Amino acid sequence: MVIIEVNNNSASAKIALQGAHIFHYARKGEKPLLWLSDISDFQDGKAIRGGVPVCWPSFGMNNPNLPQHGFARTALFEHQSTKEIDANTTEVILTLSYSQETLTLWPYKFELELKVTVSDKLTMELITKNIDDKVFKITQALHTYFPVSHISDAKIKGLNNKPYLDALTSEQLTQSGDVIFEEEVDRVYQEVNSEVLLVDRDRTIHIQNEGSSSVVVWNPWIEKGKRMSAMRDDAYNDFVCIESANAFEDFRLIEPGESHTLKATIY
């Protein structure tokens, strides 16, 4: 696999060309802000387990003609540019354009760009451009895996009173208080318009989203954790997914010539 490694005065990062998949980001002298399975595959055609999978042009099984979470996360992106903005900031741009292969899966002409800015924050902008002559609909997510010291210590602030779809029961519910983890959690929070905090024992991770009003929170817990590929049975103790999304009702229609940016900033 072709990997882009970034090192500057602020931080280090690693991005695979496959899937434009960021799988490492750490600020200088700090623990990584992304979780990566220690038994992840690094094989062409298999999604890396951890980091920030790019789920596009569909989230989950929204589109039965596409693989789970779409085809972008195992597609080979092109490295467009790497720019040293300053000694503390590096910008990497990766792109994916439509092809005969993608047209058979998803009959639309598109350009997809991931702009990654590595500094004392990690900024990701997933830009979808419609270069076709007909409108198309996408659901998507930056499916970010965050490390936690132990799942029982983790809680998420900023989703209080938000409605959510419980993907396990298909119930529509409302969050009361912080999100804590005592069982499998797989929820699509809606109407999210402010910062989300992942509060761990010894640090708080900030997630700020733009171009998105849905946030997916997932932890597989014990049984599903055992079924997940490239994940140790006890790995559910070590991470929480907080996904910056346009999922379910937060889908986006993109008109010919238009574009949409899903932006996530974490620190």
- Looking at the Cβ atoms of 94 and 188, the one nearer to ligand TA6 is 188
- Kindly state the smallest distance separating residue 8's Cβ from ligand TA6, in Å: 30
- Kindly state the smallest distance separating residue 186's Cβ from ligand TA6, in Å: 5
End-to-end CA gap in the chain: 27
68 marked ligand binding residue: yes
Whether residue 243 lies in the annotated active site: yes
Among 71, 218, 236, 239, binds ligand TA6 (CB under 6 A): 218
Helix (H) or strand (E) holding 101: helix 100-105
Among 68, 80, 99, 204, binds ligand TA6 (CB under 6 A): 68
Question: Can you tell me the distance from the alpha carbon of 236 to that of 13, in angstroms, rounded to the nearest whole number?
Answer: 24
Asked if residue 250 binds ligand TA6 (CB under 6 A), the reply is no
Residue 116 CA from chain centroid, whole number: 12
164's tokens: 């959510």
Long-range contacts of 72-76 (CB under 8 A, 24+ apart): 72/19, 72/20, 72/96, 72/112, 73/19, 73/21, 73/47, 73/143, 74/18, 74/19, 74/45, 74/46, 74/47, 75/18, 75/19, 75/102, 76/17, 76/18, 76/44
- Kindly state the smallest distance separating residue 214's Cβ from ligand TA6, in Å: 11
Nearest-CB residue to ligand TA6? Answer: 218
Asked if residue 19 binds ligand TA6 (CB under 6 A), the reply is no
Asked if residue 186 binds ligand TA6 (CB under 6 A), the reply is yes
Asked if residue 69 binds ligand TA6 (CB under 6 A), the reply is yes
190 marked ligand binding residue: no
Handedness of CA 266, 151, 246, 75 (dihedral sign): positive
Known binding-site positions = 49, 68, 73
Known binding-site positions for substrate = 49, 68, 73
Residues labelled as active-site residues? 143, 243
| Binding-site ranges for ligand TA6 (CB under 6 A) | 47, 60, 68-69, 143, 186, 216, 218, 228, 241, 243
